[in-house]
Amino acid sequence: MEPGSGVEAGVEAEREDGEPEVKRRKLLCVEFASVASCDAAVAQCFLAENDWEMERALNSYFESPVEESTLKSLSETSPERQPCVDLTSEETADSSGSKTSSSENAQQEDGSMLSVINWNIDGLDLKNLQERARGVCSYLTLYSPDVVFLQEVIPPYYSYLKKRANNYDIFAGNNFPVVYVFFFEEQVSKCGGLPSNILDVWEFLGKPKHCQYTWDTQMNSNLGISASRKHRFDRIFFRAAAAESGNIIPRSLDLLGLEKLDCGRFPSDHWGLLCNLDVIL
């Protein structure tokens, strides 16, 4: 190596870093990684494949299918998927019987409680996505629920959850990356209503007013809708067990995500649901 060649190489590298195009691309990588909650290397890959156009690259990232390596990882760390269970196939007591059987029979409460969070986290809204994701995870840390159901989870949000909520076993839905279902009273009625042994927790608890609406454009400003709209989109159901078997009894239902974050927005345009249930043996 000739004397001074190392210095010349260093000067050349500094000159390249100082080029406007290089700086612009580095800034694009930082911005992409912030929005998508991904590594800088992943950001650079998607931007390069889309001629360094931010919108095209983000669309490509969010619409891309789950990589085979991710699916392999899920299959290795998760138990084999069980077939869907028909909740109506077992003969069980009706709703009125389920409320009285636990106290009238010789069943005993074992002192344990099951806590469940159900939340449409609105991952499709990319604005302040990382801070809103941190907000959702803070509720998981605060309440430490036993089971969590999340809807509208896009790939980068899923990756973020795997890192932040690493004390949970995480399973993606069959139609990953986005899962969401809305219920309306009219739709349920047209389907013949709920089976007699499938109960709505909110109705079971006497329809408490404080947690009636999970989507409220008057209280939640995330969507910027001026019109006032309220719906009970999000629900938790449970199956009433037969008298001779174990049972779970809902005890409370509350809303989550009612406080604005530092960015001035809520964690989601939906409120989350926190349900506590007693385990009866």
Q: Tokens representing 203?
A: 């109705």
* Confidence band for 36, pLDDT divided at 50, 70 and 90: confident
Instruction: State how far Cα 156 lies from the chain centre.
Output: 12
Spatial distance between the Cα atoms of 65 and 94, rounded to a whole number of angstroms: 43
pLDDT at 184: 58
* 147-179 tens-digit pLDDT: 999 998 888 888 888 888 888 998 887 654 443
Most confident of 32-46, 97-111, 153-167: 153-167
Spatial distance between the Cα atoms of 117 and 140, rounded to a whole number of angstroms: 8
Going from N- to C-terminal start, the domains of the chain cover 5-64, 95-280
The HSE-up count of residue 81 (CA atoms within 13 Å, CB side) is 10
Mean pLDDT of 69-75: 39
| Cβ–Cβ under 8 Å, residues 264 and 276 | no
Spatial distance between the Cα atoms of 277 and 224, rounded to a whole number of angstroms: 35
Q: In CATH, what is the architecture of 5-64? A: Orthogonal Bundle (1.10)
Mean pLDDT of 128-144: 92
* Superfamily of 95-280 according to CATH: Endonuclease/exonuclease/phosphatase (3.60.10.10)
User: Where is 161: in which H helix or E strand?
Assistant: helix 155-164
